[in-house]
Amino acid sequence: MDPANLAMIIGSLVVAGGASFLVFKNFKAIKAGLPASDELSEKQGYKAAYFAYLSSVWVAVLALWFNVFADNSGLTQLNAGQVVGAVVLIPGIIFLGASIYLNNKGV
């Protein structure tokens, strides 16, 4: 199996597992009679989404630069599927990580 495909499968599993964790956490709060979100958790979600947005822009730019430099130096270029996979999965992983970090930190 190609390492790029394996990385995409692992990234997809991480994003799905993280999303399941966040949904389960909210479901547990609702079941306990607590609100699913408050002002602080919304602010944390906005911050995490901001980090994910910035990372998506930079991942796309870096993929473009990599293909330009790979063409000039003889490296194998990334195909469209790999670029789209990276632009979707890396910000998703960053959003989940930032969301969990900010939730634990309390900012």
State whether residue 95 is helix, strand or coil. helix
pLDDT band for position 105 (50/70/90)?
confident
pLDDT band for position 98 (50/70/90)?
very high
> Widest CA span of the chain, in angstroms?
60
Q: Is the pLDDT of residue 107 over 80?
A: no
- Please give the residue range of the domain that contains residue 42: 3-105
| Contacts of 19 by beta carbon, 8 Å cutoff, 6+ apart | 96
- CB burial string 34-46: b at 16+ within 10 A, e below: eeeeeeebeebbe
Per-residue pLDDT of 27-50, as tens digits, reads 888 898 888 778 888 898 899 999
Domain count, the chain: 1
